[in-house]
Structure formats: C-alpha cells, structure tokens
Amino acid sequence: MRKSLSFNNALELIANDTLQIKDDLQRMLSVDTCFPPGNGYTQFADLMTQILSPMNFTFQRVNVPEELWQTPDGSAQGERVNLLATLNNGAAENCNLYFHTDTVPAGDGWRFSPLALSEAEGRLYGRGSADMKGTIVAAIAALRAAQACDLPLRFNPVFLLCTDEEGGLYPGIRYLAEQQLFSGHLLSFNGGAVPRIWAGCFGSIDLKVIVSGRSAHSGDPFTGINAIEAALPLMNALYQLKGQVQQRTSAMPAPPHYQGKPLTSLLTLAAVHGGSKGSTIPERFELLINRRYAPEEAFEDVWRELTSCISQAMAESRALDVSVQLIGHLAPVANPYGSHWPRWQAALSQGFGFPDDAFKPWGSSTSSDMGWVQRAGIQEILLGGLARPDNRIHAADEFTTMADVVALSRSILAYLADDFQPTQGI
C-alpha cells in the first residue's frame, strides 16, 4: 500500500503522544457514567465538548425523551444526553464513530481507584479504560495527529457519543438512528483488539419478576405469605426452561475459543433479592432473568415463552401478586458485513500488525445496541475496539494497555486518511 510522508509522520506522532493520551483518559475516567443509574451523561458531554472544541468540531446534543428510557423499577436516572461531534473536512461521505459513554458500576474488589487512571504493571487501570472510554481517547489521538500533519481525510469523522449501552430500555444510538440524525456508514468500537470480521451477535432481554406476599413474624407465620417460598415453583420452572433453551444452536460462526462448538441460546437467573431478617416472613421477592436470543429467534416468540413459563409456574401459587417487567432489551445483529469492511481490515492490519490471512468471521452470544441500528435501516456495521479476553471488562481492575490504544489509534487514522491506499481487496 502507498503511504505518504505525512501519513507516516502522523503514525509516529501517535506513538509519541502518550502523555496527552493518558491525560485525556484520566479526565474521562473521573466522570462517573455508570449505568445504572446513568446520571453522569451531561457532565461527560460537557467534558467531550471541552476536549474536542479546539479541534474545530461542531456539536449537537440530543436527549432521549424520558418516556422512552425510564424503566419500571426506576433504576435509570438523569438526562440521556447524546453528543454528536462532527469534523467537517469537505469529504463526500461521513464516517460515524460510535462510542457508548456509560460503564457498568465499579463494583467491589478493586486494587486501584476505579474512577481514576492508575498506571501499573504495564497497564492502564480504571472503569471504562477498555470498555470503552479508551477507544474515544484513541480516536481523538488519531485526529490530533492528522491535523498536526495536515493529513487529508477520506471521510468526515462524526463522533456518536451515546447513552445506555450497558442496559436500559432505549439506548441512545437507537434513538439517533430512528430519528435519522446521522448519515453515512458506522464504525462501532464495542469490539476487540483482534483480527475479526464481525458476523453479528445475539439479542438480550432483561426481565424482572416481582412476587408479592404478606409479611408476618417468623415465629407466628400463620397470617403471612412467604414470597420467597411462593417463588420456588417459578425458579424450578425457569431452570427447566434454561435446559431447553440452551439446546438451541445458531448458524452464526462461533468465536475461536469455542473450539468448534456452536453458539447456543442462553437463559440466566442473574439476580435475586428478598427478605430482610430472620424474624420476618419476606413479603417481596425479586428475580432478574437474562435471556440471550439468536438472530434466528423472534423477540415475540422469546417473550411469549418466558411469560408463559412464569404464568404457568405461578398459577397455583399463594402469592398475592406476580408482576413481570421488561427492564432492558438489545436486538440481535445479523450479517453486518459490507463494502467498507476490506478497508477497515487493512487499517486494523496497519495498526495492530495483523496478517491478512488472520481475519476470520465470527459472532458472539454477547449483545450490542447495534441491533437497533440495523432495524433502523443501516445494515453494514464495522467493528473494532480494545477488548481482550484478559482485560477484565465488567470486573474489578479493568485495564487496557498503551500499546493497544496506540494500535487502535493508528488503525483509525489509517481508515480515515485519504493517503492510506490499500492495494488489495478494496
């Protein structure tokens, strides 16, 4: 591939930009954007406007209406502020760089402060360092280098900085896509630092069941209704359904670590809560169910199966009430390949050093808010990111490395730069 001197200089600038990269990452990690509740989006949009304004971006803020994202259990709080930041270079086509700005809650077990950047053991620690504030930093570093070298860009970069990917009823990118607030193709950074051709992903349903009983003294329980005990038939029925669900396979290619085994549908009893102390009959029991469904399954069928299982299991229960709440839903992604993929593969090879023959198509039973983008009419979705199997995404001591941030930044630069001209496959 032909590379100009200015392109090579820009690649070198990224490698020497580590102090600014770490400063940007520190500032982003310090803003708590965890979902739930998701009440840090406005502050993060303010920070991104401050960082990107000197680079001549223009901005549009889009709030998702509360009636769309408010969950029945009230776990979502704060304005859903999505930021569109556009760098118009006069190119004929936009490239939309998608980032979700929320993280999962920090959780327990950290050796380092989750809301600060800690550099240790050759790693960059912090909640969101890999998933996915580190990817935002990489994209900014790429454009900073391009501007310093007066490098012409093939596409106009548009940052889509979006809400509620980690959960909730209405991710920000869904609203932007349905309202047709961006045009051009889309590059999602909700992926990994691997030579992967994205073959899609499963959908995800979070469903909460609330079983209501009647409290009483546990030493005189005759007027009470134990909500936990009343829910035992439900737990047993769902566990039986789990076995049936997980026999269903998908035609989507499985990840390499599956070692030839197929992707299957999944049902997880993800969280339970009930009771307070030994002397009281519990009057309330809550169960959170997660169901991962393949693109071959229809949401309506999956929902009907779940709700039928619940109603049949609780038909003879003494419970005073059983309520079912949909508190999160991501649609599946199917066959996101398209005409821009060969250039993106070449760019990933430029940044990470992947051999051309290393790229393989595979999907996953994890989920993405890109399914809503496809449902809004955008089929092709490029995928990259910082995720690796060992960097503890969603766990304590999440980390990335400077080497991966630099490699991703170089990949982004290559993809956007007009001087990057792959000679094969385009």
2: pLDDT strictly greater than 90 = no
Nearest by Cα to 262 from 251, 270, 272, 273: 251
What is the predicted pLDDT for the residue at 221? 93
pLDDT in tens, 104-114: 999 999 999 99
188 in a structural domain: yes
Pick 303 or 75 by higher pLDDT. Answer: 303
Statement to judge: residues 280 and 323 lie in one domain: yes
How is residue 113 annotated by DSSP? Answer: -
Q: What pTM did the predictor assign?
A: 0.90
Which residue bears the tokens 């997880």? 268
Statement to judge: residues 262 and 312 lie in one domain: yes
For residues 408-413, give the mean pLDDT.
98
Statement to judge: residues 112 and 259 lie in one domain: no
Helices 133-148 + 18-29 axis angle, to 10: 140
Q: Is 256 exposed, middle or buried (0-12, 13-18, 19+ CB in 10 A)?
A: exposed
- Domain of 321: which CATH number? 3.30.70.360
What is the predicted pLDDT for the residue at 194? 94
Statement to judge: residues 39 and 156 lie in one domain: yes
1: pLDDT strictly greater than 80 = no
Do the Cβ atoms of 238 and 342 come closer than 8 Å?
no
- Angstrom distance (rounded) from CA 382 to CA 75: 31
What is the predicted pLDDT for the residue at 297? 98
Final residue in a domain of this structure, among 302, 330, 358: 330
Pick 239 or 4 by higher pLDDT. Answer: 239
pLDDT in tens, 306-335: 999 999 999 999 999 999 999 889 999 999
CA distance to 90, 129, 408, per residue, from 145 (Å): 18, 21, 13
421 in a structural domain: no
Statement to judge: residues 106 and 194 lie in one domain: yes
Final residue in a domain of this structure, among 330, 353, 378: 330
Statement to judge: residues 259 and 372 lie in one domain: no
3: pLDDT strictly greater than 90 = no
Domain count for the chain, please give it. Answer: 2
426 in a structural domain: no
The number of beta carbons lying within 10 Å of the beta carbon of residue 188 is 27
**Total count of residues recorded for the chain:** 426
Final residue in a domain of this structure, among 312, 330, 348: 330
Statement to judge: residues 369 and 221 lie in one domain: no
- Angstrom distance (rounded) from CA 96 to CA 187: 6
pLDDT band at 220 (very low <50, low <70, confident <90, very high): very high
Domain span including residue 408: 5-201+332-416
425 in a structural domain: no
SS3 200: strand
Statement to judge: residues 308 and 179 lie in one domain: no
- Angstrom distance (rounded) from CA 72 to CA 246: 28
355: pLDDT strictly greater than 90 = yes
pLDDT in tens, 82-91: 999 999 999 9
117 in a structural domain: yes
Nearest by Cα to 207 from 330, 312, 315: 330
118 in a structural domain: yes
76 in a structural domain: yes
DSSP string, 147-166: HHTT--BSSEEEEEEES-SS
Statement to judge: residues 371 and 352 lie in one domain: yes
424 in a structural domain: no
- Domain of 140: which CATH number? 3.40.630.10
What is the predicted pLDDT for the residue at 167? 82
pLDDT band at 74 (very low <50, low <70, confident <90, very high): confident
Statement to judge: residues 69 and 179 lie in one domain: yes
pLDDT band at 187 (very low <50, low <70, confident <90, very high): very high
3-state SS record for 362-412: EEECCCCCHHHHHHCCCCCEEEEEEECCCCCCCCCCCEECHHHHHHHHHHH
What is the predicted pLDDT for the residue at 423? 66
pLDDT in tens, 114-168: 999 999 999 999 999 999 999 999 999 999 999 999 999 999 999 999 999 998 8
Q: For strand 156-162 and strand 284-293, is the pairing parallel, antiparallel, or unpaired?
A: unpaired
pLDDT band at 425 (very low <50, low <70, confident <90, very high): very low
Statement to judge: residues 35 and 109 lie in one domain: yes
The number of beta carbons lying within 10 Å of the beta carbon of residue 243 is 9
Statement to judge: residues 194 and 215 lie in one domain: no
